Amino acid sequence: MVDKIVMITGANSGIGKAAALKFAMEGYRVIMACRNMRISKAVQQEVAEASDNASVDLMELDVSSFQSIRSFCAEFKQKYPRLDILIHNAAYLNHGEKEYRLSPEQIELSFATNVFGPLFMTNLLADHLEKSQDARILHACTTNIKNFFDPKRKIDFDNLRGEFRNSRRYSAYKMYGDSKMALLILTFRLAEELKGRGIKVNALQINRVKLSKATIDKLSPFWRVLAWAQNLTNPLPSGMADNYYYICTSEEFRHVTGRLINHNREIIQPSTSEKGIEQLKNIFGSGSYPQYANDHQHAETLWDLGIELAKYAP
Ligand SMILES: NC(=O)c1ccc[n+]([C@@H]2O[C@H](COP(=O)([O-])OP(=O)(O)OC[C@H]3O[C@@H](n4cnc5c(N)ncnc54)[C@H](OP(=O)(O)O)[C@@H]3O)[C@@H](O)[C@H]2O)c1
């Protein structure tokens, strides 16, 4: 056994499940933080049996709900002495969704699940992470953020609570991309914030991975066909789970913080130019991220909003 505790959100399917299995195989104490306990219970048993590791715990968490996060973190702190690795893997993307959906605290659901929930959770768990000798946080980001190489693309900061739900068209894909860009911006901001406490924060830019049957079954018929077609060539989640493991445990990344890392485990740099041939390299390569992510004002806006929203957490 490795005397280290890893928490993975959304560990009941896809990359999260593969990561739970990887860490369990390597002898870690694994906390699967999942919302559907009926489905997740079977997955927990599967992971524990396949890895022959009895220290695979399942705890209930809805990352889109501040109330759920608060009680989850309180229960976790009672059960466990510290936290070594926190992987914010869970995400909301409902392809084809046309209506704004809000979280219990009235935040647009992609932003609640992918940004403000994880931020609230990290802030609540920071004191437990601080007790680790080598605390690492990993955010699941995506190549979708490349859309921000387009100079016209921006996060609609004024609509994160669905303020314009009656006048602005909802695009699930855009909202998802915006939320993942916000998560990247907060990766940089959090890394600065937590540096003095010995907690490292990085993001992994996930390119493409096979979707699980459970995830595909949630889609509308059109998107279901498309997802099955893409699955024919997309790689298995286990490869990306190996990246989670490597970034969160290897000596190579022990002192790395505030970075975006690609699927080849290379650190991605901010783009130097977003014009002409350089822009083509940005879009088709995996070595640069949009300058938009480094905007100090965006970081402060998101940070302040995260703190403000958390004040109203039940
Ligand atoms: N697959 C790809 O090609 C790809 C590409 C880029 C980025 N990513 C990122 O990689 C991560 C994992 O994706 P995946 O492909 O493995 O997707 P997945 O199989 O659909 O897994 C997503 C997980 O998140 C959980 N989840 C969603 N909302 C939640 C909530 N409110 N509370 C708790 N758990 C919640 C889901 O639980 P339920 O089963 O209860 O819904 C599920 O376990 C995500 O952050 C995704 O954005 C994936």
3-state class (DSSP) for residue 131: coil
User: 147-164: per-residue pLDDT in tens?
Assistant: 999 999 999 999 999 999
Q: In angstroms, what is the span from residue 89 Cα to ligand 1's centroid?
A: 6
| Domains of the chain from N-terminus onward | 5-311 (3.40.50.720)
CB-based contact 279:273 (threshold 8 Å): yes
The packing angle between helices 237-249 and 14-25, to 10°, is: 50
φ, ψ for residue 78 (rounded to 5)?
-70, -35
Instruction: Say if ligand 1 is within 6 A of residue 210 CB.
Output: no
Q: In angstroms, what is the span from residue 10 Cα to ligand 1's centroid?
A: 6
Query: Which residue among 7, 43, 209 has the greatest number of ligand 1 atoms within 8 angstroms of its CB, and so is best to mutate?
Result: 209
Mean pLDDT, all residues of the chain: 95
User: 206-255: per-residue pLDDT in tens?
Assistant: 999 999 888 888 888 888 888 899 999 999 999 999 999 999 999 999 99
Residue 313 confidence (pLDDT) above 90: no
Residue 117: CB partners within 8 Å, gap ≥ 6? Answer: 63, 64, 65, 66, 69, 103
Query: Which residue among 142, 212, 230 has the greatest number of ligand 1 atoms within 8 angstroms of its CB, and so is best to mutate?
Result: 142
The packing angle between helices 117-129 and 172-194, to 10°, is: 20
Instruction: Say if ligand 1 is within 6 A of residue 115 CB.
Output: no
Residue 199 confidence (pLDDT) above 90: yes
Instruction: Say if ligand 1 is within 6 A of residue 105 CB.
Output: no
Amino acid type, 58? L
Residue 101 confidence (pLDDT) above 90: yes
End-to-end alpha-carbon separation of the chain, Å?
38
User: 12-48: per-residue pLDDT in tens?
Assistant: 999 999 999 999 999 999 999 999 999 999 999 999 9
User: 266-283: per-residue pLDDT in tens?
Assistant: 999 999 999 999 999 999
Give how far the C-alpha of residue 261 lies from the chain's centroid of Cα atoms, to the nearest Å.
13
**Residue 112 carries which DSSP code?**
I
CB-based contact 6:28 (threshold 8 Å): yes
Instruction: Say if ligand 1 is within 6 A of residue 211 CB.
Output: yes
Residue 262: CB partners within 8 Å, gap ≥ 6? Answer: 204, 205, 207, 268, 286, 287
CB-based contact 309:105 (threshold 8 Å): yes
The pLDDT-based confidence of 311 (bands split at 50, 70, 90) is confident
Q: In angstroms, what is the span from residue 272 Cα to ligand 1's centroid?
A: 32
Instruction: Say if ligand 1 is within 6 A of residue 205 CB.
Output: no
Taking the CA of residue 11 as reference, the ligand 1 atom at the shortest distance is 43
Q: What is the rounded distance in angstroms from the CA atom of residue 42 to the CA atom of residue 74?
A: 25
The pLDDT-based confidence of 4 (bands split at 50, 70, 90) is very high
Instruction: Say if ligand 1 is within 6 A of residue 118 CB.
Output: no
Instruction: Say if ligand 1 is within 6 A of residue 40 CB.
Output: no
Kindly report the protein residue whose alpha carbon is nearest to atom 37 of ligand 1: 10
Share of the chain above pLDDT 90, in %: 90
CB-based contact 30:53 (threshold 8 Å): yes
Query: Which residue among 7, 8, 12, 176 has the greatest number of ligand 1 atoms within 8 angstroms of its CB, and so is best to mutate?
Result: 12
